[in-house]
Amino acid sequence: MAGRTILIANPSADVYGSDLQLLESVSALAGADYRVLVTMPSDGPLTARLRDRGAEVLLIDYPVLRKAHLSPLRFLGLVGAAIVAVPRLVWLLRQTVPDALYVNTVTLPWWLLAGRLARVPTLCHVHEAEAPSSQLIGRALFAPLRLANQVIVVSRTALDAIGPAARRVSVIYNGVPQPDEPVHPAPMTSPVRAVCVGRLSARKAPHVALEAVALLRSRGYDVQLELIGSVFAGNEAYEQQLRERAARPDLAGAISFAGYCSPIWPKLAAAQLAIQPSYNESLGNAVIEEQYALRPVVATGVYGHLESIVDQQTGLLVPPDDPEALATAVARLIDEPELAARIAEAARRSAQEKFSVERYATELVACVEGVLR
């Protein structure tokens, strides 16, 4: 496929979730001798990383579908911005003449329309699996997938979420890089250091982790929790709520806020276990990184966690929004160190088999080349 060009449309220059997975997509395609162009509506920390992986970055203004747009007035404004953007996107496709267009997430449906209008074979990589608040919204969100020649979903959970919207779908699990240095198990000595990795958002539910730690400490377990992640712009009030809760007497001195950390491995090496209390996940790369690091994981048994964790074998699963169940599961790992070690070893083997970067690259490139045949 030497000499082929692929244009990738991405919604942000952030360094979480689908943005980080895009780095592995770029490496896979550049490694297969594609010229990779990545468009984003703004600059940010992802830009330099994309260039390091071999991509050319083009900044061009276009709207991104957000939850806030689901109100009638904001939706009308979004439609207006999309109408203005589509001709510009078509123009860019005709100027760059890519062999394929790769749209990274369902939040850019106007790119799918632009690909159809410019007659460019189009793929859409669906990272979302959160159930919409209504069937009507769900249909509207995923209906544009019919414009794509090929849809890629990150998990069977995401496949279930999109339903019959797409014509041609492939499930390709994320490729998650492993640590460069050897990892070692951590004995369950006191104080027990736990981590919760991910965005500081209500959906990720670190507030539930805080309540679980409060319960554990009330029962005599000396548990300390580090929250590793930052908030979305505009969501600073949620972080303030977390900090206020952490300052109350039953948690004072037990909670720390590390912010965004990359690479994550030193933080995981300093911990003994991990907590992932999300209300939903399309897959959850943080769990996989924790499994690579030999840290036993307690996670909610929802959405994509069920594809990275087998309960009692490669992690412990608990109901969402249940601090009591979360605390009980963490206490079990502390009280049964042999179980914790057995889970950590089995989880690492499973993650290495299922989520390797090499497997991801092979499957992704094959999928792209299938569209070009």
Q: Mind listing the pLDDT tens digit for each residue in 193-245?
A: 999 999 999 999 999 999 999 999 999 999 999 999 999 888 999 999 999 99
Residue 259 has pLDDT above 70, yes or no: yes
- What is the Cα–Cα distance from 37 to 55, expressed in whole angstroms? 6
pLDDT mean over 323-330: 99
pLDDT value of residue 206: 98
The number of beta carbons lying within 10 Å of the beta carbon of residue 141 is 20
CATH architecture of 192-354: 3-Layer(aba) Sandwich (3.40)
Q: What is the band of 352 on the pLDDT scale with cuts at 50, 70, 90?
A: very high
pLDDT at site 132 = 53
What's the confidence (pLDDT) of residue 161?
Answer: 85
pLDDT bracket for residue 303 (50, 70, 90): confident
pLDDT of residue 1: 46
**297 strand-pairing partners:** 274
> CA 187 to CA 209: how far, in whole Å?
21
d(CA 115, CA 122): 6
Distance linking the first and last C-alpha atoms of the chain = 11
The whole-number pLDDT of residue 166 equals 81
Query: 17 pLDDT band (50/70/90 cuts)?
Result: confident
In the chain, what percentage of residues exceed pLDDT 70? 95
Q: How confident is residue 78, by pLDDT bands cut at 50, 70 and 90?
A: confident
Do 5-175+356-372 and 192-354 share a fold?
yes
Query: Mean pLDDT score of the chain, rounded to an integer?
Result: 94
- Structure confidence at residue 165 as a pLDDT band (50, 70, 90): confident
Task: Dump pLDDT digits (tens) for 18-67.
Answer: 999 999 999 999 999 999 999 999 999 999 999 999 999 999 999 999 87
> What band does 344 get if pLDDT is binned at 50, 70 and 90?
very high
Tokens 């997938």 map to which residue? 145
Does the pLDDT of residue 133 top 60, yes or no?
Answer: no
Residue 2 confidence (pLDDT) above 60: no
| Residue 215 backbone dihedrals phi, psi, to 5 degrees | -65, -45
- When pLDDT is averaged across residues 118-129 and rounded to a whole number, the result is 94
- CATH number belonging to domain 5-175+356-372: 3.40.50.2000
**How is residue 10 written in tokens?**
């991405």
- DSSP letter at 168 equals S
75 has pLDDT over 80:
no
Domain residue ranges of the chain, discontinuous segments joined by +: 5-175+356-372, 192-354
